[in-house]
Amino acid sequence: MVPRMALLLSFLLSGCRCSRPPDPPAGPRPAAKQPAAGFTARLITVPSERLGPQPVVVLLPPDHARRAYPLLIAFSGRGEAVLAPERGAWGWVRDYHLPDQVAALRRGHLTEADFGGLVLVTGVELQRYNRSLKAAPFRGMLVACPHTFDLLGAGRLRDADYERFYLEELPRALSRRFKLQRSPAHGTRPRMGLDGVSLGGLWSLLLGFTHSEQVDQIGALQPAVTPFVDPLLELARAHRTALQRLPLSLATSTGDGLRPVVTRLSAELQRLGIARRLTLLTGPHDYAFNRGPGGLYMLLWHDRRFQGLTL
């Protein structure tokens, strides 16, 4: 166990990109892709009192000017966190092809091609998603993608300035610019979910565990929790009562090197009495997962929860 854990820790804290698998080495970064027709991806600058101007890419549904949407803050992996902030903020839109996944869900019927071929042999994911979409169409959300601060590279779990920006300054700025639904529990703030992949999943769990009163639901894809799993559990224990009311989703995958630690985190949360959903998807810890099963699950899980449904 020690060599395995050491290998994972070395992978997470090294210069390797957390959106890529540790073994074998990943190939070149996939070509960037522009938003699908009908959707608007906009780079905006959000002021921060302590951090200065921050780049944020916002993915807007076609009718966003007429209809209020809930807000999903989506954090990218470390591969984008180590880039220049403006480039890194485009991770979910350009590198992970999120607009294509939104368009597929709005179409109301998914195919294997939407998963990039990464579906289970039985097609169970595909069948479940299509049953859900047939029962209730995908309504969507406004997705905000800030540049993800590299907690792994910094070697610490907490950063008060970024926590304040992500959960206070960013939602406030978006509320001023766009039509956003109000939280049914806290009508003075937007209805808001958090999610992210790898390093981004670590961020969504950290923010959700420590500021549960400011969010409505929490998701994490292949979260890179290895160096911080025990401190995260301490935070969850300290905020257990508040977390028990929030929908919480943890997702790992068949080829995810972080699967054992994510499974352990899930089991420990269960022992604390914190309800969570642990989902095993298909695919590696890589861009192929982000662009297929990972992104689709993230969007559909949050959409179902925003509608008061389950997936």
The CATH number for 77's domain is 3.40.50.1820
**Which residues are CB-contacts of 87 (< 8 A; sequence separation ≥ 6)?**
80
The residues facing 41 across adjacent strands are: 59
Does 191 reside within a domain? Answer: yes
Partners of residue 251 on adjacent β-strands:
221, 279
Does residue 140 belong to any structural domain of this protein? yes
Q: Is residue 15 part of a domain?
A: no
Flag whether 11 is in a domain: no
Which is nearest to 91 in space by CA: 15, 158, 141, 146? 146
Domain that residue 141 falls in: 33-306
Domain-located, residue 6:
no
Per-state percent for the chain, helix, strand, coil, to nearest 5: 45, 20, 40
Number of domains forming the structure of the chain: 1
Tell me what pLDDT residue 37 has: 52
What phi and psi, each to the nearest 5 degrees, are found at residue 73?
A: -95, 120
Asked if residue 293 belongs to a domain, the reply is yes
**Tokens, residue 105:** 């869900």
Q: Answer whether residue 269 is part of any domain.
A: yes
Question: Whole-angstrom Cα distance, residue 26 to residue 28?
Answer: 7
Q: Are 77 and 290 in contact (CB under 8 A)?
A: yes
- Report yes or no on 14 lying in a domain: no
| Cα 270 off chain centre by | 21
> What's the predicted TM-score (pTM) here?
0.89
Q: Cα separation of 35 and 117, whole Å?
A: 21
pLDDT tens string, the chain, 311 residues long: the values are: 334 444 344 444 433 344 433 333 334 455 555 555 568 999 999 999 999 999 999 999 999 999 999 999 999 999 999 999 999 999 999 999 999 999 999 999 999 999 988 876 567 888 999 999 999 999 999 999 999 999 999 999 999 999 999 999 999 999 999 999 999 988 789 999 999 999 999 999 999 999 999 999 999 999 999 999 999 999 999 999 999 999 999 999 999 999 999 999 999 999 999 999 999 999 999 999 999 999 999 999 999 999 999 99
